Amino acid sequence: MTDEESNDGESKIGSDGQPAGSNMAGARPPAGAPSQGAAGSAGPLQGVLGRLEASLAGASGRGPAPVERWNPPYCGDIGMAIARDGTWSYRGSPIRRLPLVKLFASVLRRDEDGRHYLVTPVEKVDVAVEDAPFTAVELEVLGEGLDCVIVVRTNHDDVVRVGPAHPLRFAVEPGTGGLKPYVRVRGRLEALFTRALVHDLLAAAVADEQGLALYSSGLAFRLPS
């Protein structure tokens, strides 16, 4: 599979939403969606979200927005949140405009304090994240065994190769004991693998004298025993 790497190490997708020549596991979301305002409303929600959208117009130019370099004033909590399944909401109402969600996701940042923020050139606001801000929805394993490369696509069409810049992390879900794999997407932001995709990921695990591990880009990511 051939993909082009962006300046921050992420692979760009083709016009069909996948890397050229890929055959990724996992179901793709619907290709299109009706253009709607947040929660289908043209009331006060539109004013706040519209202001944020306008402040980002042309700010990043071509390529990823330089959010790590932006240092605007902190403007508090306006009610933005991301659910475990990746749904964005504003004051409890889902944001239904997918292009707007993608725009906001592109300027999301997690700071050293562990909190997530939506950052524009002129303001920084809280985003309450239930688990991880992104979800991993597709993967492809290139090669076999110790020499393979795991490629992951998120719900916002970030495509990354698991490795030094995009490591895997594993957690155990309290109560159920289920495995929760994450992959770093950019900065401190991670994507949580969907339950349906965990099986495909674990199918690539290799057993050795230390247990089970997933290999990608020359690194071993060991599963908890």
Task: Look up the CATH number of the domain holding residue 108.
Answer: 3.10.540.10
pLDDT of residue 168: 98
pLDDT of residue 64: 72
pLDDT of residue 26: 52
- Domain extent, residue 80, equals 32-129
Of 110, 129, 148, which one is at a domain's C-terminal end? 129
Q: 20-52: per-residue pLDDT in tens?
A: 444 455 544 444 443 344 444 444 445 766 666
Beta bridge pairs of residue 221: 214
Contacts 24+ apart (CB under 8 A), 15-24: 17/157, 18/138, 18/153, 18/159, 19/140, 19/151, 19/159, 22/140, 22/151, 23/140, 24/138, 24/139, 24/140, 24/151, 24/153
Nearest to 60 by CA among 9, 119, 3: 119
Beta bridge pairs of residue 159: 11, 153
pLDDT of residue 175: 86
pLDDT of residue 52: 62
Q: In the numeric block, which tokens belong to residue 154?
A: 């998120």
What residues of the chain score a pLDDT lower than 70?
Answer: 1-46, 48-63
Domain check: are 111 and 145 in the same one? no
Task: Tally the domains of the chain.
Answer: 2
pLDDT of residue 164: 97
Q: In the numeric block, which tokens belong to residue 71?
A: 């240092």
**CB 158 within 8 Å of CB 105:** no
Token pair 């994450």 in the structure block, residue: 182
pLDDT of residue 210: 86
Of 99, 114, 129, which one is at a domain's C-terminal end? 129
**CB 156 within 8 Å of CB 132:** no
- Residue 9 inside a domain? The answer is no
Domain check: are 120 and 138 in the same one? no
Domain check: are 114 and 145 in the same one? no
Give the count of beta carbons closer than 10 Å to the beta carbon of residue 181: 21
